Amino acid sequence: MKKFGYGTGVSVYLMKRSPKGLSRSPWAVKKVNKQCDVSHKNLYEQRLNDEAKILKNLQHPNIVGYRALTKTTDGSLCLAMEYGGEKSLCDLIEERSEKRLGPFPADTIFKVALNMARGLKYLHNDKNILHGDIKSSNVVVKGDFESIKICDVGVSLPLDENMTVNSPDAEYIGTESWKPKEALEDGGVITDKADIYAFGLTLWEMMTLAIPHVNLPPEGDDEDSFDEDDFDEDAYYEALGTRPPLNMDELNDSYQRVIELSYMCCSENPKERPSAAKIVEALESENI
The yes-or-no verdict on residue 221 having pLDDT over 60 is no
Read off the pTM. Answer: 0.85
Residue-level pLDDT at 71: 81
Residue range 143-147: average pLDDT? 94
Residues with a catalytic annotation lie at 133
* pLDDT range class, residue 68, cuts 50, 70, 90: confident
Residue-level pLDDT at 24: 58
Contacts of 37 (CB under 8 A, 6+ apart): none
Residue-level pLDDT at 90: 95
136 neighbors 93 (Cβ within 8 angstroms) = yes
